[in-house]
Structure formats: C-alpha cells, structure tokens
Amino acid sequence: MSAADDLHDAAADEMIVGCLDLAKPRSFFLYAGAGSGKTRSLVEAIRKVCERQGRDLSLSGQKIGVITYTNAACDEIKQRLEFDPRVEVSTIHAFAWSLISGYDNDIRGWLAGRLLQDIAELEEAQAKGRAGSKAAVDRARSIESKQHRYESLGSIIRFVYSPTGDNRTRDSLSHAEVIAMTADFLAGKPGLRRLLVTRFPLLLIDESQDTSRQLMDVLLDVEAVHRERFCLGLFGDMMQSIYADGKERLAEAIPEAWARPHKRMNHRCPTRVVELINRVREDGDGEQQLPRSDAVAGTVRLFVAPQGANKPETEAAVARRMREVTGDVAWIEDSDATKILALEHMMSARRFGFDAFFGPLYAVERIRTSLLQGAGAGIGFYTREVLPLIEALRASDRFAIASIVRKTSPLLDRKSLEEAGEDQASVLAAAKAACDGLLELVSGDAVPTAREVLRYIAEKRLFTIPDVLMPFVAPDAPGEEGAAGDEEEEPNPKTELGGWRQALEASLDEIARYDRYIQGASSFDTHQGVKGLEFPRVMVIVSDEEARGFMFSYDKLFGARGKSETDLRNEAAGKETSIDRTRRLFYVTCSRAERGLAVVYYTDAVEAARAVVAKQGWFSDEEIEIIE
C-alpha cells in the first residue's frame, strides 16, 4: 500500500475535522467519488471530535448525529465507532421519528388534514369519472378506507411507528408519512428546529444525494437560520444518486459559505476502470479521480451482441472470453466469483419473471423508492407475512407456523382470546383451519393470483389487511365492471390504486421472485444493492429493449440514438434527462470493479453500435468485441 496515496486526501479530512468544531461549526459538502473512502473519512472525523470535545458533548447531553441510508451502513458505522454513546447513528426514517415521536396531537392534526385532502381529491375524481367502472369501484373503496381511518383518529392515544416494520395497525404511521410529517413540522415549528439544533449541534448525512428532497430542503433552511451553532455535514457524490426522491442538483443548492472538501483518490478500482468512469462523468459534472500509484492496470471490455441473441449463452461466452483475455480462471459462467449487474430493474423483472407484479408498481412514482427497497405495508404484507407462512406450511414447520400466526394474526390477538374465554380451543381450531385452507389454495394446479390470496386472507381474518390493499379485498360485483367498449374508464396506472389493481393480478409466485431479487438472492444484483460494495470481476448487462423504459437509454448514452424532444426540453430547462439518469447508473455499476469489467451491450444494429461506441472514445478499438 502506498503511504502517499493514503495521505493524498488528508487536506480534505482535516477540513472536515475543522468544520466539526462545537465552538465554531461550519457546514460542508464533501465530494467523495466511488472508492474514495467516504465512510472512513466520516468515522475518523467523528473519532477526532470525540477525542477533542467529547467531554463537552457529554456534559451538555448533546450528540453527534449521523444519518445513513441503510440499516447495514448504520450498523457498520456504529461498530467502527465502537458504539460510542456520544454519537447517534440512524437511518433517515429512524432519525425523523426520533424528532416527532410523542407529538401525538400534532400528528393527529396533520393526519386529519392529509386524509381530508386525499378524500377530497378522490371524490373530485369520482365525480368526473365513469360510474360503475373498475376505477370508480377502487376509488369508492379507498374513500371508505380513508374515511374510516379519519374517524378513528380521535380514539388513538399514542401513535406508533417502526422504521423497519410495515406499520399496519390503526395507530401506526407509514414510512412516507413520517418523512413528510417531519419535513412539515420542521418547516412550521421553530421550537422543533431549536430542539434539533440543541440535541445535534453536529449533524452528518451519508449518501446525502439520495436523502428525501422534502427533508433535505428543510434541513438546509434550518442550517441557514442556525448557522452560528449548527453544522450540517453532507457526504456524497451526485453521480451516485440512484433514487428518484432525492434532491436534484443538490450540489448547486449548497450556500457559498459552506466548505467544499474534495476526495480525489480512488482506492478501489484499477487504473483502466478509473479512466473509464472519469470519461463517463466528464460530460456530467466533470469531476475526476486518480487511481492509486500501486493500482493494477485492470481489464475493460465492451461486448456488443444482437438483441435477439440467447442471453444466458451470450453472457457465458463473455465470461469465457474474459478468462482468455485476463488469464483469470475465476471468470466462469454461473459462478459467484463474477458479479452480474443489471442496470435497469424492468430488465431484471422480465428476465426473472416478476414483471407483471413489479411493472405496474414501478410505474407509480410516489411508491417507486419504497418498492425498490422492499418496504411499505402492501409489499410487507406479502413478503414478511404471507410468503413466510406459506413456506412454513409447505415445510410442515409447526413451530414457525405458530410463531408467524401468533405474532400478527387477529385470530390469535389478545382481544380474540379474551372474548373466547374458556373456549379458546375453537379459536385455535379456526386459526389452524385458515392456515390449512391457505396451503390448499396455493397447492393447486393453478398458481393463485396475489388478489385471490388477499381475498382469502381477508375472509378468514388470517392477517390484518393494510389500508392500501383494502380496496381490493372484496370481489368486483357483476355490475361493477362497467359497460364494455371505449367508454369504460380504466384505473389510472400512474396512481397507487391503479398500480396495485394491476399488480395484484400477477401470480403469487411473482412476488416471491421479486422478493428474492430485492433481497439480493438472485444471480443479478441491483445498482441500489451494490452501491458502496466492490467485486473483483463485474459483468454489466445493458439492453434498452429488455428494459423498455422511458427513464433510461443506453443507446442514447453510447451515442447510438439522438436525444428525444423530452430530453432537449428538460436539458433546456435545467432538468434531469434520461441520459443523466443512465449515466449515473452506468457509473455506479462500472465503479464496483476491482480488477476486471465486462460490459455486455445488446442492440438491434451491432455493427453500427460498435462504430458509434468506438467514435465516442470511452473504449478503445481493441476493447470492443462483437459476440454473435
């Protein structure tokens, strides 16, 4: 290891430590590209502050706040800091809840206003829509569910929330509600702002580019008002922004008074990969990194293949070719030694057979992020209750069955058992019968749809149905379908109601495959799942035809297609384009490679694509190969 390389960004680290001064805090935005040791800088800066001013923190009862994006990152930072009690590390949802928990009257008022607004919007759409259509039926049921929740607010004494749970009971809040509520409370309640600044005079946010724009905007406002006694430290890289609800162009919103330390060294990637990712972001923000002096040269290849090729065979051939080129025998097809990354989720959904479930929900922007995280009450109902119970039933695991049902089923909650009195055996028998019926439903020749399973569970009261799924519990009555023909009003696919109606027609097996994908258990991984990770061998799969989305385009990124009118309008307005989004995902995936990188580019015009990619200059002529 080169000592000079390790110290190359020492000035940036010292600047961060200087900003974290309780007596004279200064906010900062750290640019830290891929493999630059961002988390290491964060941890070392906190250690130095605790060494110098830890006693002051302890005496005042104050803490250094650290917000991370995932529970895994949260645990890693806590361990590196040896669980220092002067540092509070949490995810954004846990942090938000720590600020507003206990303000039950304010929460009740906020929820009442939000529910009345939602009901009014649904009633307005209902008045304009076609009576008796599927969309009208969904809206009517949603209005009923929201009205019921609104009327029950007065009976809730204390609201509850779990950052890692599905929050489905009547007294619980959803993940989205907690974030929106915290942002609104911080914006409108000066007392809460003062509490935040007093409790956390130093607040550091990791992966700040993906932090909810609602919260980021209000935290920037808090910093502007309390700048003399509050440091807001943002760690991140805009080129690694991958969630749609993060703040666009965050770097441009940073005030002039802030410090802007930069970390230039890439400690992960070989020289050739650093050259490539520098070229990728050259037309983006122009930021450039340096490879370590002791970095290996590394190998990069772009394989261009026809769109109609047999994908598994093509990718196996690419692995064999990389073994020949690199001499690395670990490049073996179907091997865990090679990390295969799909850049667009719909491509993975189609490859692994869960697109009928995933596609409709992915099209709804307001729930897209929670879908990609496997979060939300509707998703959790299936992945954390229904599927585990079915797995236990199929394995005849009586202990697991009893554990799952006792934990969340209303059949065996305290109220049901108390009402049964001495006849609790009948309650247990009903629960067993409900479980047996579920096993029978999923064991037939035809795989049931997600909606059929939902209706059965609702009928038997096996689990509590989350509000988002309540409109689909009852079967559509014969007269509810509306008249056939062009006048039929279909559910709006861009709304949560419309997305769920379509998604629930998918088979239950699709949800199981979706869950394995999101958990990283499939052969492909997500760009969200690998951010911050590194692998010796990386194969990146690029295919616009498989992705079939409007959000990304690799043909445009590589120059095989021109910009669309929408891209040109967004570019002129200073907004994000499909090329911007595609560039970021390509950067994130390519920058995972420690030694070898293979990019497989499927296209309809192989020779033409090869020519435009060569002209673009990201890959040399020798690095571009055609795979027939």
**pLDDT tens across 539-551, in order?**
999 888 776 665 6
165 marked as binding residue: no
Show the tokens assigned to 214. 């609602």
Q: Which helix (H) or strand (E) holds 278?
A: helix 271-282
The length of the chain in residues reads 628
Q: What is the pLDDT, as a whole number, of residue 386?
A: 95
Amino acid (one-letter) located at 173 = L
Average pLDDT, the chain: 87
Instruction: Estimate to the nearest angstrom the gap between the alpha carbon of 467 and the chain centroid.
Output: 22
pLDDT tens digit string along 171-221? 889 888 999 999 999 999 999 999 999 999 999 999 888 888 889 999 999
Q: What is the pLDDT, as a whole number, of residue 56?
A: 93
506 marked as binding residue: no
35 marked as binding residue: yes
User: How far is Cα 157 from Cα 161, in angstroms, rounded to an integer?
Assistant: 14
Q: How many DSSP H helices and E strands does the chain contain?
A: 29, 14
User: How far is Cα 453 from Cα 382, in angstroms, rounded to an integer?
Assistant: 10
407 marked as binding residue: no
Q: Is the pLDDT of residue 63 over 60?
A: yes
Contacts of 131 (CB under 8 A, 6+ apart): none
54 marked as binding residue: no
Q: Is the pLDDT of residue 479 over 60?
A: no
pLDDT tens digit string along 95-131? 999 999 999 999 999 999 999 999 999 999 999 888 8
Show the tokens assigned to 565. 């009118």
432 marked as binding residue: no
pLDDT tens digit string along 218-233? 999 999 999 999 999 9
348 marked as binding residue: no
Rounded to 5 degrees, what angle do the CA atoms 208, 213, 216 make? Answer: 60
State the average pLDDT over residues 16-25.
Answer: 95
Q: What is the pLDDT, as a whole number, of residue 486?
A: 43
Q: Is the pLDDT of residue 75 over 50?
A: yes
Spatial CA neighbour of 561 closest among 576, 578, 581: 578
User: How far is Cα 76 from Cα 570, in angstroms, rounded to an integer?
Assistant: 39
Do the Cβ atoms of 48 and 185 come closer than 8 Å? no
User: How far is Cα 498 from Cα 134, in angstroms, rounded to an integer?
Assistant: 9
Contacts of 321 (CB under 8 A, 6+ apart): 301, 303, 625, 627
Bridge partners of 28, per DSSP, are 233, 259
33 marked as binding residue: yes
Spatial CA neighbour of 91 closest among 182, 220, 197, 224: 182
Q: Is the pLDDT of residue 531 over 60?
A: no
Amino acid (one-letter) located at 170 = R
Q: What is the pLDDT, as a whole number, of residue 304?
A: 95
Residue 475 phi/psi, 5° resolution?
Answer: -70, 150
Spatial CA neighbour of 578 closest among 539, 549, 544, 552: 552
The pLDDT confidence band at residue 480, using thresholds 50, 70 and 90, is very low
Query: What is the pTM for the complete model shown?
Result: 0.82
Number of neighbours of residue 459 by Cβ within 10 angstroms: 12
Q: Is the pLDDT of residue 494 over 50?
A: yes
Do the Cβ atoms of 99 and 85 come closer than 8 Å? no
Contacts of 182 (CB under 8 A, 6+ apart): 96, 97, 99, 100, 215
Q: What is the pLDDT, as a whole number, of residue 566?
A: 79
The pLDDT confidence band at residue 238, using thresholds 50, 70 and 90, is confident
Amino acid (one-letter) located at 620 = S
